Structure 1
Amino acid sequence: MDKQTVSRDGTPLAYRRTGQGPVVVLVGGAMSTGATAAPLAAALSDRCEAVVYDRRGRGGSGNTAPYAVEREVEDLAALIDAVGGEAALYGVSSGGALALRAAASGLPVRKVAVYEPPYVVHEGGAQERAEYTAALTEALAQGRRGDAVELFLRLTGLDPEVIASARQSPLWPGMESLAPTLAHDDAVMGDSRVPRDLLATITVPVLSLAGSASPAWLREAARAVAQAVPQGTYRVLEGQTHAVEPEVLAPVLAEFFTS
């Protein structure tokens, strides 16, 4: 990251701008930094100016306590102000939930696109998410960062054997360094259900995307978001999973943001 701005509470935020065209701020999900979105920013750069940033507690950004979701909305307000006073938002996974919250708060946002915000659409899922929240809170309070990361990976559906292998990977220490921010994403998701009343207040166009190869519940959640906002569109990207390919996603986003 080569630029910095400061949020309302004094937290420094690291960001980078790439390309030319309408400004789009890319909002990452759990266990990600601004660098994670760099390939998508590059793929968008011929039609949009993509802004990637480190959410608070990650990479080059600060982490002023106490945490609150409202502070992350203020972070986006500071970023939008720094890059021209108005922007579109794209959020992936829990970053999509944050982008939707920001749009509902009245920030100067032109359009919002989200990819598979992980809202639960059935009661069993809500109970599983509540159990995850309790276990995550306990693990982080006890300083068991590795266990916190494992809890998250289990929530995403990874096999125990894959997780055990990941623990031996040279990438694991970096994942543990991001473990405290799992609580941030958990807070962003609230009670994990689709926040229909909140979404109904969003006054700008929303494109809600999902992958055809993703679990059915993620597609259902994306569809529910499009149905809950006044100007919502739902679209499925063929062959894509939750780890959507930038080369497939970028043309869809560019068309939406430049139209």
Structure 2
Amino acid sequence: MPHVISQDGTRIAYTKTGSGPAVVLVDGAFGHRGFGPNVDLAPVLAESHTVYAYDRRGRGDSGDTQPFSQTREIEDLEAVIAEAGGTSDASGPVAVYAISSGAPLALDAAQAGLPISKLVVYEAPFVVDDSRKPIPDDFLARLNALIAQDRRSEAITYFMTKGVALPGVFVMLMRLMPAWSKLKKVAHTVPYDVAGLGDTGAGKALPAGRWADGKVPTLVVAGGKSPKWMQNAMTALADVLPDARHRTLEGQMHIVKAKAIAPVITGFVDD
């Protein structure tokens, strides 16, 4: 199994497909090389680009060295980018696409100076106004407590209802579906995503300085059929980034279709 070694010694598994300019895919919560919307995206992008899909720590075939910190996840992404050909002068040929809670990880990586040529983010789950209830102040603490007790289904339900704002009835139906068991396998990594969000779910303006030094050209994308709070968040994100464009992808929701987002990604990173 191809892998890179992160700075703390953690093995990070990845798959390389296609040929052409390099694009690294960063998953959101629960996602990895075998699960989530990026699974379908990788082969579509591989028709014209070299695609690096990797398992974030604790998922799939990657390790999970403790203690966790957001810095470790940035170092994991840095190792994958280096494998893809990224250079230390921050002008390397490696683009990054990040979806959902993978977006703040990629934004933080750009802020840290990783050699990312261009960045595309799709629907970071920020809450920037009163268009939905804010994420509870004790959200991360309660998730950690549920995971510590191995109450994985309860942790997922709490995350989906209070974090993602899905109706409780919908989440109850999800528990009857085969995908629920896949969610449970990686439920222990959900607090990692929440930690990366910081206070961006509090229902207030995004912190203007968090990504002020991230000069990477960035395309911020929202789905035209996604909830208003997600669309508002992406408008707000584009406004605070130093070099950003904003686009609404009509007809798409949070689980974006590969054939819809792929040309958006390639059109931006190849421009």
> Structure 2-normalised TM-score?
0.90
Return closer, same or farther for 1:97/1:157 CA change in 2, 3 Å cut-off: same
1:161 aligns to what? 169
Within 2, Cα distance between the matches of 1:201 and 1:38? 31
- Contact kept? 2:131, 2:228, Cα under 8 Å: no
1:142 aligns to what? 149
| 1:145-177 alpha-carbon deviations (Å, 9 max, x no partner) | 110011112132333233223323333222111
Gaps of 5+ in 2: 87-91
Matched residue type, 1:119: F
**1:208 aligns to 2:209 (yes or no):** no
SS of corresponding position for 1:52: strand
2:255 aligns to what? 243
**1:27 aligns to 2:34 (yes or no):** no
- Contact kept? 2:105, 2:196, Cα under 8 Å: yes
**1:255 aligns to 2:267 (yes or no):** yes
| 1:205-225 alpha-carbon deviations (Å, 9 max, x no partner) | 000000110011111111111
Mean Cα deviation higher: 97-106 or 43-52 = 43-52
Matches within 5 A, 1:58-207: 58-85=59-86, 86=92, 87-122=94-129, 127-154=134-161, 155-193=163-201, 194-207=206-219
Aligned-residue sequence identity (percent) comes to 40
- Contact kept? 1:129, 1:192, Cα under 8 Å: no
Superposed displacement of residue 126, structure 1: 7.3
Mean Cα deviation higher: 79-88 or 60-69 = 79-88
- Contact kept? 1:19, 1:45, Cα under 8 Å: yes
> Structure 1-normalised TM-score?
0.94
SS of corresponding position for 2:12: strand
Gaps of 5+ in 1: none
- Contact kept? 1:116, 1:218, Cα under 8 Å: yes
Matched residue type, 1:214: S
2:48 aligns to what? 47
| 1:97-131 alpha-carbon deviations (Å, 9 max, x no partner) | 11000001001110111001111102686743424
Alignment RMSD (CA, Å): 1.7
Superposed displacement of residue 132, structure 1: 2.8
SS of corresponding position for 1:158: coil
SS of corresponding position for 1:207: strand
Within 1, Cα distance between the matches of 2:133 and 2:8? 32
SS of corresponding position for 1:227: helix
SS of corresponding position for 1:150: helix
Return closer, same or farther for 1:126/1:73 CA change in 2, 3 Å cut-off: farther
Matched residue type, 2:103: G
SS of corresponding position for 2:210: helix
Matched residue type, 1:175: L
- Contact kept? 1:211, 1:241, Cα under 8 Å: yes
Q: Which has the higher helix share?
A: 1
- Contact kept? 2:156, 2:187, Cα under 8 Å: yes
1:230 aligns to what? 242
